[in-house]
Amino acid sequence: MANSGSRFQVRPVSGALGAEVFGVPFGRLTDADLATVRELLLEHLVLFFPDAAELEPEAHKEFGRGFGKLEVHPFLAKLPGHDELVVLDSEQGAKADVWHTDVTFSDSPPVASVLQIVQCPPAGGDTMWSNQYLAYEAVSAPLRDLLDGLTAVHVFEHPGTSYRAEAEHPVVRTHPETGRRSLYVNRLFTRRIPQLAPVESELILRHLFELSESPQRVCRFRWQPGAIAMWDNRATQHYAVNDYVGRRVGRRVTILGDKPEGEAPRWGAWTAETAGNGVRDTMARA
């Protein structure tokens, strides 16, 4: 177990991402402690705090505020009296068993989230995270060059309501703190790449989703009541494994984000008309 250079003890959990952090005094963190947590998060992308006791709501929110302004989610259930503290209850349908990055349908998706599990089954209900830096680096150089000049449209439609949100972001995002590039598309919310023909967009996205979710770029965490996970939403995806019987309840705060940045798109939106002109031009030159 490595020492982080502070009073915390750090143990990586996989070769791809993730580390357990021990000895974090929640409720008594100094500015230096918060700075260390931020550095560890940038290095490991997801941090687990297995030995944390159940946080009081104010302590949970205060920890999140150490990294930015907290989200008030428009739909998810809240802990009474604490609008920033979302309650994820499997008996109320909170089973996110699709790979995704949170709220990419927003113009400014979240920076990070802090989730504490307060009740879980004796087996099952793990969560997995994947490293999107490594997913980008697994793409061949010619395809990376193409992806660097594309955007993707992300959409969310709330069931049973008229609510619909849509945002367009770079397919490849540059992390604002590390400067590293990562894939920024996900199976749950990403619908299309507007610069490509529909069949091309579908094929490319399918390939990118598979790269993003590949086991060699994943870590997995087995929950115990009281354990906390904190993840960098700018360079990860996650998946809640729905393989359990019983109830799983967590409380989460989410830190509001910044606008994803990457290279400007190098092409305009594809249309059947412009594609047809291209075919005719090619035929005319033949």
**Does the active-site annotation cover 175?**
no
273 is a domain residue? no
**Does the active-site annotation cover 73?**
no
Domain ranges, residue 117: 2-267
Torsional sign, CA 27, 46, 158, 176 = positive
251 is a domain residue? yes
281 is a domain residue? no
Q: From the candidates 100, 154, 175, 217, which is the catalytic residue? A: 100
52 is a domain residue? yes
Q: From the candidates 73, 102, 154, 175, which is the catalytic residue? A: 102
283 is a domain residue? no
**Does the active-site annotation cover 252?**
yes
**Does the active-site annotation cover 102?**
yes
**What's the total number of domains in the chain?**
1
154 is a domain residue? yes
282 is a domain residue? no
pLDDT number for residue 54? 81
Find the CATH number of the domain harbouring 15.
Answer: 3.60.130.10
Per-residue pLDDT tens listing for the chain (286 residues): 666 556 799 999 999 999 999 999 988 899 999 999 999 999 999 999 998 888 899 999 999 999 999 998 877 889 999 999 999 998 886 677 899 999 999 999 999 999 999 999 999 999 999 999 999 999 999 999 999 999 999 999 988 888 899 999 999 999 999 999 999 999 999 999 999 999 999 999 999 999 999 999 999 999 999 999 999 999 999 999 999 889 999 999 999 989 999 999 999 999 988 776 554 444 444 4
Q: From the candidates 44, 73, 238, 251, which is the catalytic residue? A: 238
Buried b (16+ CB within 10 A) or exposed e, 13-29: bbebbbbbbbebebeeb
